[in-house]
Structure 1
Amino acid sequence: MSADDVDDVSEMGPVDYLVLEFPGDRMTGEGLSRLLDLVDRHIIRVLDLAFLRKEADGTVTVLEIADLDGDGELDLAVFGGASSGLLDEGDLREAAAALRPNSSAGVVVYENLWAAPLATALRRNGARVVAGGRIPPEDLLASLEAAEAAAS
């Protein structure tokens, strides 16, 4: 994707990123069918996709899109051109800094297409996002358990 691929940024949905760490070389490609399903159903649009490997000594390598599960087929061929330019070397260094030694990671930047009509309508009325974030599942579970305990 390039700037030419976006008719009007004001029509885009929110853009998020995920850095998903895998211990060792255990990127099996198991979640790829779920990612493809989200793309096929126009829930998200993958803007950038990269893979990293951090060695025991801290050396980081950017991996080529490849056959992750070893079945002889390029699992990620559909994302071969997913490079909008949003994800740069500095972003990859920052993602790598969060990784433990002897791990691999996938970094994905994606547009939330499902939210584009809402975001567009709100922007047209002068609304703007002033804060946002993610609640990690562990924190959500802890909060729900605490609320349940308090209610008992």
Structure 2
Amino acid sequence: MSETSLDELGPVDYLIVEFPAGESYFNGEIIEELITLVDQGTIRVIDILILTKDENGDVEALELSEVGDLGGLLAIEAELAELLAADDVVHLAAAMDPGTVAGVLVYENLWSAPFASAARRAEGQLIANGRIPIQAIIASIEADDASETVEV
């Protein structure tokens, strides 16, 4: 990336989607949703890896270009930067259960790039970020609903 484009870079995140043993289907719906996010300008795909962790804990990492049928991912495959190193793969695979397959997606949040650039120009820097798991949000809402029911 050029220095100008680095200055305009939005926050970069990753996610890992794990599939149970024997259920490693990266089906059409997943691919369609990813392509929609790219086409809408919500994200830019930086890297995609497929990780396989056997029952002994040994991990194999495949870049998207090494996978057989890419389907609609061919359109974004050429833009991948192959950002993740071997140490990253070990760290990411630690979250996986033995006998599973996972897809790792590294992406830039294009929707927030203008804000991030403005913050950097104002001498600001991102010092922390996080994500609230959807399960925690659901549990919180259910707990609030239960307490409202009890109070009535």
Same fold (TM over 0.5): yes
Structure-1-length-normalised TM-score? 0.83
**What do residues 62-98 of structure 1 show as CA deviations (whole Å, max 9, x unaligned)?**
232332xxxxx64432343354243111111111121
Letter in 2 for 1:128: Q
Letter in 2 for 1:80: E
Any conservation in 1 of the 2:45–2:107 contact (CA below 8 Å)? yes
Give secondary structure in 1 for the equivalent of 2:130: coil
Aligned to 2:58: 59
Does 1:18 pair with 2:15?
yes
Structure-2-length-normalised TM-score? 0.83
Mapping of residues 1-152 of structure 1, within 5 Å: 3-4=1-2, 7-24=4-21, 25-29=23-27, 30-63=29-62, 64-67=66-69, 74-152=71-149
Is the helix fraction higher in 1 or 2? 2
Letter in 2 for 1:44: I
Distance 1:103 1:31, change over 3 A: same
Question: Structure 2 regions of 5+ residues with no counterpart?
Answer: none
Identical positions, percent: 41
**What do residues 94-128 of structure 1 show as CA deviations (whole Å, max 9, x unaligned)?**
11121111110101110000111111122222222
Letter in 2 for 1:66: G
**How many aligned positions are there?**
144
Any conservation in 2 of the 1:66–1:77 contact (CA below 8 Å)? no
Alpha-carbon deviation of 1:43?
0.6
Write the distance in 2 (CA, Å) between the matches of 1:103 and 1:138: 22
Write the distance in 1 (CA, Å) between the matches of 2:60 and 2:79: 19
Distance 1:66 1:126, change over 3 A: same
Letter in 1 for 2:136: D
**What do residues 15-44 of structure 1 show as CA deviations (whole Å, max 9, x unaligned)?**
100011011242232301000000011110
Any conservation in 2 of the 1:66–1:74 contact (CA below 8 Å)? no
Letter in 1 for 2:73: L
Write the distance in 2 (CA, Å) between the matches of 1:148 and 1:86: 44
